[in-house]
């Protein structure tokens, strides 16, 4: 089954053709990073205008690489939520036009689910293995920091989330404080390799490190506002040398990533997860990947790291996820809305071994 995926939830215009949920024939991405860098973050209306310019050539390129015409597709999947409304509207309008012209079925899919599915694009055998469940997804990006538990029948529940900033947002804001540029994640990852992570003692929120017990209802939750504020006070009115800057960056990164690893492994243990899955844009971070691997190995936990090319926003994860919906007969109407928010009810994750919509 040939599925075209379209992604436009933020500042990447992406299209991909995926066969049977995992064979990626094309994966085309047009990034707007340079355009938004001057503003230190994504401007929704500007992103939408760029999507308008890019969506047609990006989709055409994806179809051309896959050697397919639109009418040869078996279905289409488009990100419908969560995301920036102006950006989502562009991708969805284009998708609906293509559906109206070809008559192929289409579905709107959850971007959050897509990030988790991205980890399995090259390992579909793990989804079919009962020994993989329950799966603990560690979804870490600029918009999300959450722990989601996925059962064999596709039922999913967020067991931990951020109370303020997402981890990726905390990295971007740190880079802004330090005048490092945008996006902050890759720059911090690079500079941290040159510094001493033990030089500065940044706070690690909601892990009880300061001697104050963590409230039971926030045992698996995250908070990154404190570490960000601490950084601001640490460097305010100071001119940092290169070595001092590297040490600050390394220590800050270690604090943020250390909380992610601590919470993820604790939740995996407490909920009996058989597989820990790290995904989302921040899963590209080399320190986080190494730390999570080390922590899981020490605890005898199985870990799946999403390939870096599928960590950041892409359409392969959307097309792959959409296949599982369409295979089970789901079809959306042309009046399907878009939404900025992640719904509290995640619904059924259709790629789970015994999922029934």
For residue 125, being part of any structural domain is answered with no
Q: Mean pLDDT of successive 10-residue segments in the chain (357 residues)?
A: 97 97 98 84 91 97 98 98 97 98 97 97 97 98 94 97 95 95 94 97 87 89 95 92 97 98 98 98 97 98 98 97 97 96 92 96
If asked whether residues 219 and 193 sit together in one domain, one would say yes
Residue 144 near residue 83, CB atoms below 8 Å: no
For residue 207, being part of any structural domain is answered with yes
DSSP letters, 220-238, are T-B--HHHHHHHHHHHTT-
Q: Which residues of 289-328 are buried (b: 16+ CB within 10 A; e: fewer)?
A: bebbeebbeeeebbbbbbeeebbbbbbbbbbbbbbbbbbe
For residue 355, being part of any structural domain is answered with no
| Domains in the chain, number | 2
pLDDT at res. 142: 86
If asked whether residues 14 and 108 sit together in one domain, one would say yes
For residue 333, being part of any structural domain is answered with no
If asked whether residues 242 and 107 sit together in one domain, one would say no
Strand partners, 136: 149, 276
If asked whether residues 191 and 107 sit together in one domain, one would say no
What gap in Å lies between CA 140 and CA 186, rounded to an integer? 14
For residue 340, being part of any structural domain is answered with no
Q: What value, to the nearest 5°, has the Cα angle with vertex 271 and ends 135 and 155? A: 50
Indicate the burial class of 124 (C-beta count within 10 angstroms; 0-12, 13-18, 19 or more): middle
What gap in Å lies between CA 234 and CA 246, rounded to an integer? 14
Q: Indicate the pairing of strand 135-140 with strand 145-150.
A: antiparallel
Task: With CA atoms as reference, report the closest residue to 91 among 312, 336, 311.
Answer: 336
If asked whether residues 190 and 297 sit together in one domain, one would say yes
If asked whether residues 85 and 167 sit together in one domain, one would say no
If asked whether residues 291 and 315 sit together in one domain, one would say no
23 SS3 class: strand
If asked whether residues 294 and 318 sit together in one domain, one would say no
Query: Which residues make Cβ contacts (< 8 Å) with residue 201, sequence separation at least 6?
Result: 251
Dig out the tokens for 323 from the structure.
């296949």
For residue 219, being part of any structural domain is answered with yes
For residue 197, being part of any structural domain is answered with yes
Rounded to 10°, the helix 184-192/286-299 angle is 70
CATH number at residue 226: 3.30.420.40
If asked whether residues 112 and 87 sit together in one domain, one would say yes
For residue 51, being part of any structural domain is answered with yes
Phi and psi at 292, nearest 5°, equal -70, -40
If asked whether residues 259 and 162 sit together in one domain, one would say yes
Q: Which domain holds residue 65?
A: 2-117+311-327
If asked whether residues 283 and 136 sit together in one domain, one would say yes
If asked whether residues 137 and 109 sit together in one domain, one would say no
Q: How far is CA 108 from the centre of its chain?
A: 17
pLDDT at res. 321: 98
């Amino acid at each position: 089954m040939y599925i075209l995926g379209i992604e436009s939830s933020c500042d990447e215009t992406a299209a991909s053709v995926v066969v049977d949920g995992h064979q990626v024939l094309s994966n085309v991405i047009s990034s707007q990073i340079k355009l938004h860098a001057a503003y230190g973050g994504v401007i929704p209306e500007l992103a939408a205008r760029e999507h308008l310019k890019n969506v047609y050539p990006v989709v055409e390129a994806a179809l051309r690489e896959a050697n397919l015409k639109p009418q040869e597709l078996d279905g289409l999947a488009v990100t419908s939520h969560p995301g920036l409304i102006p950006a989502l509207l562009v991708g969805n309008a284009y998708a609906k036009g293509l559906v109206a012209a070809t008559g192929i079925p289409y579905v709107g899919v959850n971007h959050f689910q897509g990030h988790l599915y991205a980890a399995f694009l090259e390992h579909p055998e793990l989804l079919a293995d009962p020994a993989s469940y329950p799966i603990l997804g560690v979804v870490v990006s600029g918009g999300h920091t959450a722990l989601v538990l996925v059962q064999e029948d596709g039922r999913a529940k967020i067991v931990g989330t951020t109370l303020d900033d997402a981890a990726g947002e905390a990295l971007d804001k740190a880079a802004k404080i330090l005048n490092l540029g945008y996006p902050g994640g890759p720059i911090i990852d690079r500079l941290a390799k040159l510094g001493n992570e033990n030089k500065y003692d940044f706070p690690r929120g909601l892990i009880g490190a300061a001697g104050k017990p963590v409230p039971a209802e926030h045992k698996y939750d995250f908070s990154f506002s404190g570490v960000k504020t601490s950084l601001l006070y640490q460097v305010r009115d100071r001119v940092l040398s290169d070595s001092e800057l590297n040490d600050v960056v390394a220590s800050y990164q270690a604090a943020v990533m250390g909380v992610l690893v601590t919470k993820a492994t604790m939740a995996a243990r407490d909920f009996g997860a058989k597989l820990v899955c790290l995904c989302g844009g921040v899963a590209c971070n080399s320190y986080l990947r190494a730390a999570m691997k080390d922590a899981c190995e020490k605890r005898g936990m199985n870990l799946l790291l999403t390939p870096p090319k599928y960590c950041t926003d892409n359409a392969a994860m959307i097309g792959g996820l959409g296949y599982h919906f369409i295979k089970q007969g789901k079809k959306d109407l042309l009046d399907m809305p878009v939404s900025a928010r992640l719904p509290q009810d995640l619904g059924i994750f259709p790629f789970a071994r015994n999922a029934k919509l």
